[in-house]
Amino acid sequence: MKKRKKIMKIFFVALMLIPLTIVNAATKTETLVEHLKELVKSFDGNVTYEYDTIDIDWTNPNSKYDEVSFSYKDNVIEYNPGKITNYEEAVDVTSHTIYSLYLIEAALRINGYTEKEIEDYFSSETSEFNYERNGIEFKEIGEEKEFTSSDGTSTITAAPRLIRIDVAKANLNTTDEAVTPKSTTINDVVEYLNADSEFKSTEDDGKVIFENEVSIDEDTITISHTYYWDDYYNVSFPCENDIITYEDEEINSYYDAERAGSHHMFAIQIIGEVLKMNGYTTEEIQKFLSSEDSNLSYEKNGIEVKEIGEEKEFTSPDGLSKITTTPMSFKIDLNRANIGDNKYKVLDGANQIISANKELTFRFNIEFAKFKAEGKVYVDGKLVDPSNYTAKEGSTVITFNADYVKKLAANEHTLKVTTNDGEVETKFTITNNPQTGDSIIFYISLLGLSIVGLSVAGLYIKKLFN
């Protein structure tokens, strides 16, 4: 599954950075939602669960590309990227190229040109800027090449481009006639852009595309920007009875592909979060998902990840970027999800030490209905009669009653729980000594009584001698 292996790389990064938060919730789905809320905080997002649907609303400002800077001297802005060697540099050059056009347009508008004049010139066949003639130089200084992102899911075509803008001389003159410099300054350009509502935010059918702000210091103009689409990255996963099901609709455009990719990323993240909730470590999850045999199967692992269509490539409307995606479906049983070979995990209670007069409780990632139908419990290899323990949902919680625990010898024991398709084993130790916590409470109580006794005795003695 080529696509799944690509999105695993995205998942690995998120999994390494997002800590597992301890939460209390009534159901596995509600617990998952609490974990996802922590995840999307860094995306300024929110997670809700209602009407049997998990909704994840988030924005996607990429911190690596959230600003571009242009150096300047006097009234001349300049950008010279040099050689482009990788995808990240290609994205950076493209971003600078796009934002330099805003600087050019601002300078031309301040110098007296109308929006229509600028638009007509840019769309004409003669719109080749020359620094000596137009106060603007905007030219390729290297060969155009295609670059692929490190995760292999996106490509971009770019060429290094020299950009130089003399804001006082910027004009649309088509002759070699000398141009008298205007009184335009760098500060004028910055103020113009910060006051331009279209530059601050652009909308398409009510969806915000970007927000920008320009700042200036003694030698650098910096354009800070976020880039997002209000409902562009929002994802919804139907989830009923702790089972998530998702299937891509038809993917016909670049935006469909981006939206599908967003769903795929979060579906993989959800798988990782659920596996962590079910007792697996980050290392175990990463090792399994990066292995050649990580073919998750619903019947076997509580997880189904399938390709349901052909891989296709889509190009963005501006022609600068491409994305390759494959329609996918996901099914995740939150209680059964595991990465073992039909092996279950102990979620709570492994290797505990307990005194002989206490109840003994363990929790396993076994579907409770499955345990009720076919589960068996063994201690030291002997089948335990169900009268000696209670079992309840969550995934499966088994509590041995105190009378049964009293009968066990004061040493280490082996507990094994089995179903028809798997088993799990752990250790526990019975001791006849009071537990540390019990001892502390006992001695604190004695100390308290001693203090009270001494106080009473002191008062009595004082009374005798007065």
Same domain? 183 vs 211 = yes
Range scoring the smallest mean pLDDT among 223-237, 252-266, 308-322, 377-391: 223-237
> pLDDT (tens digit, 9 = 90+) per residue, 322-344?
788 899 999 998 887 888 655 67
Q: Which residue has the higher pLDDT, 413 or 122?
A: 413
Q: Which residue has the higher pLDDT, 329 or 51?
A: 329
Q: How far apart are CA 95 and CA 320, in angstroms?
A: 10
Query: How does 62-83 read in b/e, with b if 16+ C-beta sit within 10 Å?
Result: eeeeeebebebeebbbebebee
pLDDT at position 391: 93
Q: How far apart are CA 388 and CA 384, in angstroms?
A: 7
Say if CB 160 and CB 139 are below 8 A apart.
no
pLDDT at 78 over 90: yes
Same domain? 169 vs 83 = yes
Same domain? 221 vs 77 = yes
284 by Cβ neighbours in 10 Å (0-12 / 13-18 / 19+) ranks as middle
> pLDDT (tens digit, 9 = 90+) per residue, 254-310?
878 888 888 888 888 888 888 888 778 777 887 777 766 566 777 677 888 889 999
Averaged pLDDT for residues 364-378: 89
pLDDT at 225 over 60: yes
Residue 118 structural domain: 63-227
pLDDT at 32 over 50: yes
pLDDT at position 466: 36
pLDDT at position 146: 87
Look up the pTM and report it.
Answer: 0.49
Q: What is the mean pLDDT of the chain?
A: 77
Same domain? 214 vs 127 = yes
Same domain? 145 vs 94 = yes
Same domain? 179 vs 110 = yes
The verdict on residue 338 lying in a domain is no
pLDDT at position 19: 39
pLDDT at 13 over 50: no
The verdict on residue 241 lying in a domain is yes
For 198, 204, 458, 459, 462, the CA distances from 465, given in Å and listed in that order, are 93, 94, 11, 10, 5
Those residues whose C-beta lies under 8 Å from the C-beta of residue 120, and which sit 6 or more positions away, are: none
Same domain? 284 vs 295 = yes
Instruction: Show which of 333, 357, 372 is a domain's final residue.
Output: 333
pLDDT at position 278: 79
Say if CB 232 and CB 75 are below 8 A apart.
no
Q: Which residue has the higher pLDDT, 210 or 221?
A: 221
> pLDDT (tens digit, 9 = 90+) per residue, 420-450?
877 888 899 998 754 433 333 332 333 333 3
Residue 378 CB neighbours (<10 A) = 15
Same domain? 151 vs 194 = yes
Give the pLDDT band of residue 62 (cuts 50, 70, 90).
Answer: low
> pLDDT (tens digit, 9 = 90+) per residue, 90-118?
888 888 888 898 899 999 999 999 988 88
Averaged pLDDT for residues 204-220: 74
Q: How far apart are CA 453 and CA 447, in angstroms?
A: 10
Say if CB 303 and CB 335 are below 8 A apart.
no
Same domain? 443 vs 306 = no
Say if CB 33 and CB 47 are below 8 A apart.
yes
Give the number of domains in the chain: 4
Averaged pLDDT for residues 27-34: 82
Q: What angle do CA 247, 253, 257 make, to 5 degrees?
A: 45
Range scoring the smallest mean pLDDT among 79-88, 223-232, 382-391, 403-412: 223-232
Q: Pick from 15-29, 61-75, 108-122, 293-307 the range whose average pLDDT is largest.
A: 108-122
Instruction: Show which of 183, 208, 227 is a domain's final residue.
Output: 227
CATH classification of the domain holding 369? 2.60.40.10
pLDDT at position 188: 92
The verdict on residue 341 lying in a domain is no
pLDDT at position 186: 93
Same domain? 402 vs 314 = no
DSSP 110-127: HTT--HHHHHHHHTSTT-
Of 362, 359, 337, nearest to 349 by C-alpha is 362
Same domain? 453 vs 427 = no
The verdict on residue 340 lying in a domain is no
> pLDDT (tens digit, 9 = 90+) per residue, 152-208?
666 788 889 899 999 999 999 888 788 889 999 999 999 999 888 778 776 655 555
Q: How far apart are CA 152 and CA 297, in angstroms?
A: 25
pLDDT at position 70: 93
Averaged pLDDT for residues 235-253: 89
Proportion of the chain above pLDDT 90, given as a percent: 21
Q: What angle do CA 217, 223, 227 make, to 5 degrees?
A: 155
- Phi-psi region at 444: left, alpha or beta (left = phi > 0; alpha = psi -120 to 50): alpha
pLDDT at position 42: 59
Instruction: Show which of 312, 333, 354 is a domain's final residue.
Output: 333
299 φ/ψ angles, rounded to the nearest 5 degrees: -60, -30
The verdict on residue 339 lying in a domain is no
pLDDT at 452 over 50: no
Q: What is the 3-state secondary structure (H, E, C) of 166-212?
A: ECCCCCCCCCCCCCCCCCCCHHHHHHHHHHCHHHHEEEECCEEEEEE
pLDDT at position 420: 80
Averaged pLDDT for residues 62-69: 66
The verdict on residue 74 lying in a domain is yes
Of 392, 425, 388, 387, nearest to 405 by C-alpha is 388
Give the pLDDT band of residue 461 (cuts 50, 70, 90).
Answer: very low
Of 190, 211, 177, nearest to 110 by C-alpha is 190
Q: Which residue has the higher pLDDT, 10 or 381?
A: 381
Same domain? 314 vs 286 = yes
Of 424, 360, 366, nearest to 395 by C-alpha is 366
Of 101, 77, 84, nearest to 160 by C-alpha is 84
